[in-house]
Structure 1
Amino acid sequence: MGNEGAIPGPRTPIPRWAISSWATFALAGGFLCSASAAAPPRPYAANVAKAVCAAGDAQEVGLQGQVTMAERNAGYKGAHCNLTLVSKLPAEFVPEKTRMFSMVRDRAGHLCGIASGEGGTTPTIVADMTDPKRIVETASLTSPAMMRSSEALKVNETRGLLVSTSYVPAHSANTNSEERTLDVYDIGTDCRQPRMLASVQLPFPTKSLKTGYHGFRWPDPDYVMGHEGNFAPDGMTFYVADSNHGVHHAIDLADPANPKLLDTFMAPSWKGYADGPDDSFIAFGAMPHSLSVSPDGNRGYFSIAAFDSRLETIPQTGEWSNGFMVLDTSEIQRRKPGGRMRFISQVALSDGGGHHGPLSVKINGHPYVIDNDEYGAGQLSVKGRLAACRAGLPPSGMARIWDIKNERHPKLVFKLILEVNDPKNCATIEPETIAGDAQWAMFLYDTHLCSVDNRENATVLACGHMQSGIRVYDIRNPRRVKEIAYFNPPAGKPNRVRSCAGIPRLDAKTRMLYSYCGGAGFVALQFKKGVWPFPGSSTPRDMQL
């Protein structure tokens, strides 16, 4: 699709009297400006109205979403607008480490937050958040997948299940059995103490697969590997984005103690990996990364990502398969014998990479997909971000809203462009762009993952960012998105910014938002009265992501 640019507002027909009047004026010798004389709109101009903060809030001092170098050098004190920190709890193991976040309410009414294990060195942590003023760590899960769950960590409240594959970096090529494990826990009986139901390896044939990184040839059969995944909302199927093998898997959890592989799907545009100079990493497009499944289970929205470390900026012409696919998953959902995932359409983008989080929602009854990129048009290097700025492209990854009434031809409706992602502001953010960050040098003001309050009636979008904190947007008018709140935790040390990359979770009844931020740990935040929920907002179970 190339470079989409900004989306114009609704077109208003020009009255006939206006055309006649201008024509008469011109014929009489008046001056009529040509359309080309007006400056064209900048395609990546900031377009998200800034939040109106309450008195006493510690507002951002720089651009929308920015942590200035002066703030970093002095030891960042944090910022918040319309969100109050009720309490926090750093995890016991490596408290500064960024983790992904899930949340569940069990059948006894306990509310638990779960923070992912990372890299095989830190376990998945469970905390009782029933009393948001007193968060208590209750369990650490050390099974193979839970030691490296990261973005693969998901819960399903309807079934009371906690599931994760082992998160494996996309460029890994090894035969480590622990990186080929799926763990399933009962979290519905007592979420404070999850009970293991299964820790299994699921074999599948690999003869038709592309080679892995460094030309790695997969064993045949090999076992399902993970990177991310998600449930069908009824909790009967878990879909896995297997980035290394370049495929998506559908796993049957009808009997959660005995997971079974149902199907494996490869994107038509997947071309595999290649090695660049100096051991650089190239994914030629359509690498599995993230996904969601429609509330009825019949459609899958699966991320496909592209990366090429040889390039400073993403090519604006030619093929760049970064975006999402729409798949028909109805045969899997109804357990048709031999049922398959089937391709419907694909969206490709050239203003970002590491595509993430395509989430199908309804806004005012109309179907949309909300997605984002992990990084901008300059990919993951300082040189790339600076080059993207020079080219007038966004330096960081952003969220988007797509109209999918016609699922074969999704239509871009809105790009959420914060001030930090407007190329005209690149000079303002250049100091922190060049300096990077000791903890998150690859990422800057990128959007990582988002959720909504209710996929069947979405009113707000809540996004976790790499260095811009947690930000919440009013999306009731998807063509005119407004920011309503944000929270960015203090750094604790000079020259550091905490990452709030986990997926925020909302509770309309209590005005609460829960998540996990590196350094702060588990956080319980509350919206100021009158900010959210809106009339009609709700947070039913299993309808936020």
Structure 2
Amino acid sequence: MQGRLSQADIESGLALRGITCNTELVGSYTTPKSYATVGGWKVERYVDSQGNECAYYDASNIFPLGILDGAIGVNVMDMNDPTHPVLIEQLLTPAMLSPHESLNLSEKRGLLIAVNANPAVGPGIVDIYDLTKDCRHPVLKSISLTGLFGHESGVSPDGLTFFSGSPITSTIAAIDISNPEFPLLIWSAFMDTHGLSVSADGNRAYVADTSGKMRILDISQIQARLPNPKVKTVSETEWEHGSIPQNAVPFTSKGKPYVLEFDEFGAASQVGAGRIIDISNEAKPKVISNLRLEVHQPENFAAVVDDPGAGDTAYGGYSAHYCDMPTRVDPTIVACSMILSGLRIFDIRDPYHPREVAYFNAPLDGEALSSNPGKGGAVSRPAFAPERKEVWYTDSNSGFFAVRVTNGAWP
């Protein structure tokens, strides 16, 4: 069954070997798991001015659980040879020590940014690093108390504005990072905000509202740096088969605007997975298709309910957590971390009819299986090396993986 990891798969040893289709392992950095998780919520990729290639990921998805495994802070990986990822250093300043889901990167400006966070609420300490000269050795530019409260985040494509979102406190903050040494809080509001993404022109924010909807905000006055900027809600969109909206990413396909929205966690009828939303009329967005596996479908709930971890709505299960795409202009694929189901690749050349074309479910760690069977798995937002058709992600049970999509599955 598409997406399933059953007790039989574990007993037969298949799960220990890993389950793949149209993918191959390029390289990995794995850590024996003794106490907690060893891979977190986001992976970022950057190539610096000298051509060095780097990856960044939060090692412990819930600080401080990873301390005994040495899985804390943000790992800086040398990816000049992607077949042998090398851990160069760990960023341990306040926000990087515990970024939760807030780690973000401005590719345009070469800035790595996070706000101190945890699953509930963290203080709004924002750390900014410069990656441009040597991405293997990020340079700290500032530590500031500008983010109000931490949990998730967003950054404008021009790299001038960082957004800190906190669903527990229902707050959102916009920070001017045009001078990364002196970030400034320029706007804040009470609003249910999980993750968010910003349009190419910087005038719209697509906000995941944990109450079960996507909110489009007019942030043009923030982008224009008007004093005391006003932010207006353009529309709110809800859908069926939802769990907790995680983030919403705008893109265009053949000149038409869409948003890729994805939910986290949930089980059975409350699995949200992902969806594509047509925003041609941004006042009335319309869900046009879903990114779901067979394990997400109601007719299969009874068959999978007793699979190890399938009912874990708080941390595991057959659910999505993050999706992303290699480009926001005419993307051909979307990659999703779907926890027990691993990394799943969808062809979205026809946004109305996405279809899965590849997957990579990492070999499960034997110790993790014996101590905590079926828990954890692929949870991170993936990053991409499109010139080599690679997708990078982390598995919370084992660590970092660079995976190549094969057999023409990445168009």
TM-score, normalized by the shorter chain, greater than 0.5: yes
CA RMSD for the aligned pairs?
2.1
- Which residue does 2:394 correspond to in 1? 516
Per mean C-alpha deviation after superposition, the further-off stretch among 257-266 and 505-514 is 505-514
Which of these residues, 158, 161, 172, is aligned with residue 248 of structure 1? 172
1:294 matched to 2:210: no
> Matched residues in 2 for 1:434 and 1:351: separation?
20
Report the identity percentage: 31
> Matched residues in 2 for 1:441 and 1:183: separation?
28
Distance 1:515 1:428, change over 3 A: same
1:478 CA drift (Å): 1.1
Greater strand share, 1 or 2?
A: 2
Q: Structure 1 counterpart of 2:291, which letter?
A: L
Q: Structure 1 counterpart of 2:138, which letter?
A: P
1:441 CA drift (Å): 6.0
1:97 matched to 2:38: yes
Per mean C-alpha deviation after superposition, the further-off stretch among 347-356 and 294-303 is 347-356
Taking the TM superposition and a 5 Å limit, the aligned residue runs for 1:52-451 are 63-75=1-13, 76-77=15-16, 78-91=18-31, 96-100=37-41, 101-118=43-60, 119-120=63-64, 121=67, 122-170=72-120, 172=121, 179-202=123-146, 224-267=148-191, 287-306=192-211, 322-376=212-266, 385=267, 389=268, 394-432=269-307, 436=311, 442-451=315-324
* Contact kept? 2:207, 2:217, Cα under 8 Å: yes
Q: Which runs of 5+ in 2 are unaligned?
A: none
1:333 CA drift (Å): 1.1
Q: Structure 2 counterpart of 1:241, which letter?
A: G
Distance 1:180 1:248, change over 3 A: closer
Q: Structure 2 counterpart of 1:524, which letter?
A: A
How many residue pairs match? The answer is 394
Q: Structure 1 counterpart of 2:241, which letter?
A: D
> Matched residues in 2 for 1:480 and 1:336: separation?
41
Q: Structure 2 counterpart of 1:417, which letter?
A: R
> Matched residues in 1 for 2:149 and 2:46: separation?
25
* Contact kept? 1:461, 1:474, Cα under 8 Å: yes
- Provide Cα deviations, 1:249-284, integer angstroms capped at 9, x if missing partner: 1100010011101111333xxxxxxxxxxxxxxxxx
Task: Determine helix, strand or coil for the equivalent of 2:327.
Answer: coil
- Which residue does 1:220 correspond to in 2? none
- Provide Cα deviations, 1:54-93, integer angstroms capped at 9, x if missing partner: xxxxxxxxx1111011123455231111110011112599
> Matched residues in 2 for 1:415 and 1:157: separation?
29
> Matched residues in 1 for 2:315 and 2:113: separation?
28
> Matched residues in 1 for 2:117 and 2:176: separation?
19
1:526 matched to 2:409: no
Task: Determine helix, strand or coil for the equivalent of 2:388.
Answer: coil
* Contact kept? 2:323, 2:381, Cα under 8 Å: yes
- Which residue does 1:460 correspond to in 2? 333
TM-score (norm 2): 0.90
Task: Determine helix, strand or coil for the equivalent of 1:99.
Answer: coil
* Contact kept? 1:452, 1:461, Cα under 8 Å: yes
> Matched residues in 1 for 2:144 and 2:287: separation?
40
* Contact kept? 1:168, 1:225, Cα under 8 Å: no
* Contact kept? 2:129, 2:142, Cα under 8 Å: yes
> Matched residues in 2 for 1:239 and 1:363: separation?
26
TM-score (norm 1): 0.69
> Matched residues in 2 for 1:373 and 1:448: separation?
6
Q: Structure 1 counterpart of 2:209, which letter?
A: I
> Matched residues in 2 for 1:182 and 1:443: separation?
29
Q: Structure 1 counterpart of 2:98, which letter?
A: R
> Matched residues in 2 for 1:140 and 1:422: separation?
40
Distance 1:433 1:523, change over 3 A: closer
1:184 CA drift (Å): 0.6
Task: Determine helix, strand or coil for the equivalent of 1:103.
Answer: strand
* Contact kept? 1:328, 1:342, Cα under 8 Å: yes
1:474 matched to 2:347: yes
* Contact kept? 2:149, 2:171, Cα under 8 Å: no
1:505 CA drift (Å): 1.7
Distance 1:441 1:334, change over 3 A: closer
> Matched residues in 1 for 2:190 and 2:193: separation?
9
Distance 1:142 1:360, change over 3 A: same
* Contact kept? 1:250, 1:262, Cα under 8 Å: yes
Task: Determine helix, strand or coil for the equivalent of 1:201.
Answer: strand
Task: Determine helix, strand or coil for the equivalent of 1:192.
Answer: coil
Q: Structure 1 counterpart of 2:305, which letter?
A: E
> Matched residues in 2 for 1:70 and 1:92: separation?
24
Task: Determine helix, strand or coil for the equivalent of 2:10.
Answer: helix
* Contact kept? 1:117, 1:149, Cα under 8 Å: no
> Matched residues in 2 for 1:514 and 1:434: separation?
24
1:427 CA drift (Å): 1.8
> Matched residues in 2 for 1:352 and 1:247: separation?
22
1:450 CA drift (Å): 0.8
* Contact kept? 1:401, 1:478, Cα under 8 Å: yes
1:434 CA drift (Å): 7.1
